[in-house]
Structure 1
Amino acid sequence: MTAPLLSIQDIGVRFGGIVALDGINIDVEPGAIHAIIGPNGAGKSTLINVVTGIYTAGQGSVTFAGQTLNRLKPHDICRLGIARTFQNTELFGEMTALENVMIGAHRSGGYGPFVAATHGFGFAAAESRMRAEAMDLLELVGIAEDAAMLAGALPFGKQRRLELARALATRPRMLLLDEPAAGLRAAEIEALNNILLDLRARRGLTILLIDHVMALVLKISDRVTVLNFGRKIAEGLPAEVRANPDVIKAYLGERAANAIAS
């Protein structure tokens, strides 16, 4: 049996008296697209923040490729091969799309602070390589023609793609996507579906995503985990999760769940 690439074991998080996550266990297999869904306040973003080192869990452990992530800083977790996007786009609006992606590529730039400050030996060659890599990534997500545009001037759907390209520039083994389809139109969601499937097929990326948009989650996910009020209430294949009474109740409410069951 293949060992999980990411293993989340018994994670608990409290904010004062509020229980955000309560004993969450999730294994993400290598090369899988694994979705986490749930209503607002279910704890989805909190979980991704724990995995990426923004929050520290009060209990439990997170391991990636056999290495424990507990108490590592976000930049150290990124170096291990985990990249993420955010629920609200976090771009440098006054920089071009190309420059935004090049920022992600600087993690593997091949020169240190001194060379960067003095433009010393190797700087020009490294910058040229990163520029070419960034253009390739913009092409991959379908916005190469916008390379010279300021990120803040891009339409929202293209900003989502740009943030994805910047995450890819860190050369991750695993992508964590926090509501990547939020605010997108149907055609944009379909395009995003194709991009994510292509990344898995061509680059072997493992993808963990959270979203409310079921057209994204159910179409491309290999496995789905459902959270509600900080607890895992279901997990399985998309068709199994969609038919689960507890999931229907969490999304539609008690009355709607009873109506469907009858």
Structure 2
Amino acid sequence: MEANILGVNNVTVQFGGIIALSDVSLEVTPGTIHAVIGPNGAGKSTLLNVISGIYSATKGDVSFEGERLSGLAGHEINAKGVARTFQNTELFKEMTALENVKVGLDRFHACGVINSALHTKQWKKSDAEADEAARELLKLVGLGDDETSSAGILPFGKQRRLEIARALATRPKLLLLDEPAAGLRAAEVEDLIAILRELKTNQGLTILIIDHVMALVMAISDRISVLNFGHKIADGAPKEIRESAEVIKAYLGEKAADAYST
């Protein structure tokens, strides 16, 4: 059996008297797209925050490629190969799309303070390489024609894709996506589906995604975990989740379940 790339092991997160996650475990297989769904307040973003080092688990731990992540800072987790996006886009709005992606590439193309300040040949070579790498990532997410546009003036759907490109610039093995389809129109959701399939199939990336857009979740997921009030209530293939009476009652609803049963 192939080893899991990510293991969430009996994680509980408590804020005062509020239990955001209660004894949650899940395993993510390399090269798959694993979705986490559930109603608002179910603990989904809390789970991503624990994995990415923003929150610490009250109990339990998280492992990545067999190494314990619990207790590491966010930048240390990122350096190990875990990148994420957020519900609210966290872009540098005054910078161009290309410049935003180059921020993610910085540690791979940095050449020292003196070289950067003096714009030496070494800096120029490194900067040109970073430009080319950033352009390739923009093309990958369908933003090849937007490299000189300021991030702040891009349509919302393109801002979502730009944030994914910047996360990809850190060269992750595991990409955490927090509601990337939120606020997108139907055509933009279809574009996002195509991008995520490309990242999985041709780029070999493993993705853990949270989203409420069930058309996206059911189209791309190899496995789905369902949270409700901080508890994991189901875990399985999309067909199993669609047909789970407990999931239907807690989240999907009868009409939604029927809509995705074909």
* Fold match by TM threshold 0.5: yes
DSSP-derived class of the 1:122 partner: helix
Q: TM-score normalized by structure 1?
A: 0.94
C-alpha distance in 2, partners of 1:22/1:169? 33
C-alpha distance in 2, partners of 1:108/1:70? 25
The one-letter code sitting in structure 1 at the alignment partner of 2:174 is M
What is the match of residue 51 of structure 1? 51
Q: Shift in Å at residue 2 of structure 1?
A: 0.8
Residues 64, 112 of structure 1: alpha-carbon distance in 2 compared, 3 angstrom cutoff: farther
After superposition, where does 1:138-149 map in structure 2 within 5 Å?
138-149=138-149
C-alpha distance in 1, partners of 2:113/2:53? 24
C-alpha distance in 2, partners of 1:112/1:72? 26
The one-letter code sitting in structure 2 at the alignment partner of 1:225 is S
C-alpha distance in 2, partners of 1:118/1:23? 54
1:136 and 2:106 are equivalent in the alignment: no
What is the match of residue 181 of structure 2? 181
DSSP-derived class of the 1:2 partner: coil
C-alpha distance in 2, partners of 1:96/1:3? 40
Residues 146, 60 of structure 1: alpha-carbon distance in 2 compared, 3 angstrom cutoff: same
Residues 11, 143 of structure 1: alpha-carbon distance in 2 compared, 3 angstrom cutoff: same
Q: Percent identity?
A: 57
C-alpha distance in 1, partners of 2:116/2:237? 48
What is the match of residue 196 of structure 1? 196
Q: Shift in Å at residue 113 of structure 1?
A: 4.2
C-alpha distance in 2, partners of 1:114/1:212? 48
What is the match of residue 93 of structure 1? 93
* Deviations 1:143-177 (CA, angstroms, capped at 9, x unpaired): 11111111000000000010011011111111000
C-alpha distance in 1, partners of 2:121/2:149? 30
The one-letter code sitting in structure 2 at the alignment partner of 1:57 is A
What is the match of residue 127 of structure 1? 127
Which stretches in structure 2 are left out of the alignment for 5+ residues?
A: none
The one-letter code sitting in structure 2 at the alignment partner of 1:165 is A
Q: Shift in Å at residue 243 of structure 1?
A: 1.0
RMSD across aligned positions (CA): 1.5
* Deviations 1:50-101 (CA, angstroms, capped at 9, x unpaired): 0000001111110101111011010111110111110010000010011000
DSSP-derived class of the 2:63 partner: strand
Shift >4 Å, 4+ stretches = none
The one-letter code sitting in structure 2 at the alignment partner of 1:157 is G
Residues 116, 68 of structure 1: alpha-carbon distance in 2 compared, 3 angstrom cutoff: farther
C-alpha distance in 1, partners of 2:113/2:42? 41
The one-letter code sitting in structure 1 at the alignment partner of 2:86 is F
C-alpha distance in 2, partners of 1:2/1:106? 33
What is the match of residue 83 of structure 1? 83
C-alpha distance in 1, partners of 2:44/2:208? 11
What is the match of residue 209 of structure 2? 209
C-alpha distance in 2, partners of 1:178/1:50? 13
The one-letter code sitting in structure 2 at the alignment partner of 1:42 is A
Which stretches in structure 1 are left out of the alignment for 5+ residues?
A: none
Q: TM-score normalized by structure 2?
A: 0.94
C-alpha distance in 2, partners of 1:24/1:251? 18
